[in-house]
Every structure is written in structure tokens, then in C-alpha cells.
Structure 1
Amino acid sequence: MTTDPFDRAVARTVAENDDRRRQRRQRARLRRGAGQKKAFQIHAVVFVAVQALLFAIWLASSITDGFDHPWFIYPLLGWGIGLAAHYIAVRNCWRHQPKTGSDARVSYSGQ
């Protein structure tokens, strides 16, 4: 450790800047994770709503014309694969968010 006041001030400034940079990266990671989680939730809600609508259309047309091939399964499976891929991509962001320690004090709002 040096006794020169200038060297101590420089070391303290460098440490503070490193800490600020780390906190800024942490806040950005939390915002990105929250945004991706919200996007996945919207995707899942729209998926369920559209699939329910397609099933209702198939059911209504099948009741009047006789039960036919369940064609609503094809968009269900195709879109379901996309939804599963979206979940897998977003899940990694959820896993890497800190939950304990000093990093847990950095909230989404940056306070």
C-alpha cells in the first residue's frame, strides 16, 4: 500500500468506477431479463387465446357438418414448437439473475 495521497485517490476512483460499471451491467441484465420474461408471457397468452379460438371454430363447424379431421392440431403443434423454443431461450436469462448477496440489492428500477 502506498502512502502517496494521489495514488490512493487514483486507486479509490478506479475502484468506484469499476463498481459503477458492474452495477450498470447488472441493472441492464435485470431489465433485459424482465423484458424477455414479459415478452414470453405475452406470447404464451396469445398462443392460448388463438388455439382456443381455433378449437372453437373447429368444434362449431364439426357440430354442424359432422366431426371432421381435427385440423386445429397442426397450428397447435407448429406454434407450440415456436413457443417452446422461446421458453428455452428466455429460461437462460431467468437462471442467471442473482438472488442473494450484494447484487440482490440492485433492483430493476436501478435503486
Structure 2
Amino acid sequence: MTTDDQHIEELETQATAEDELRRKAITRLRKRADFRTHVFIYVLVNSLLVVVWAVTGAPFFWPIFPILGWGVGLAANAWDVYRPDPVTEERVQREMGRLRP
């Protein structure tokens, strides 16, 4: 392989790594935007349910069920978006080492 071929291969590798990084960044930004939308709808809908409860004068606070149930889903979504330890190549290699007999 000539020096020019090696240089071209290095540039292609850098471009591929840069493209992958860009793809990951876009995915992360989309997840965060989707999460903000999810929180907004959660607050809006559950606020409406609390208003309905207050207007009807029901003695039991029944909106607690959708608030808690949906809240579990919202917490799972938050964990997916903001978890502190994404999967890295180092972690993959370490796990592969554990799986080897």
C-alpha cells in the first residue's frame, strides 16, 4: 500500500468516525426533544384530569392513578435519555471477556 493509499484510508476512517459521532449526536438531541414533549403532554393531561376532579367534587383523588402510572413510563423515558453510562467499546470488550470460557 502506498503512502497516498494510506492517507486516503485514514481520511475515510476519520470521515466514518465523524459521521458516526454526528449520527449519535442527532439521535441524542432527538431523544431529548421527544422527552421534553413527553413531559409537556404529561403535565398538560394530568393537570386537566386534576381540574376535572376538582370541578366534579369527587371525594377520592382518582387522578393519582394516571399520574403515578404514567409517571413510571416518564421515569423510564428519562432514564433512557439521560442515563449516565452509555455503552462504550471498553464496556463491550469487558463483557465479552466475562463471557469467554
Alignment TM-score > 0.5, same fold: yes
1: CA distance between counterparts of 2:2 and 2:8? Answer: 10
Q: Which residue in 2 is equivalent to 1:59?
A: 54
Q: Which residue in 2 is equivalent to 1:37?
A: 32
Report the aligned-residue RMSD. Answer: 1.5
Shift of 1:95: 6.5
Structure 2 unmatched runs, 5+: 87-101
Asked if residue 49 in structure 1 is aligned to residue 40 in structure 2, the reply is no
Q: TM-score, normalised by structure 1?
A: 0.73
2: CA distance between counterparts of 1:95 and 1:25? Answer: 18
AA of the residue aligned to 2:9: V
Q: Give the number of the structure whose alpha-carbon radius of gyration is greater.
A: 1
1: CA distance between counterparts of 2:15 and 2:65? Answer: 50
Q: TM-score, normalised by structure 2?
A: 0.80
The structure showing larger relative contact order (alpha-carbon pairs under 8 Å, at least 6 residues apart) is: 1
The total of aligned residue pairs comes to 86
Structure 1 unmatched runs, 5+: 1-5, 97-111
Aligned counterparts, 1:1-111, within 5 A: 7-62=2-57, 67-92=58-83
Identity of aligned residues (%): 23
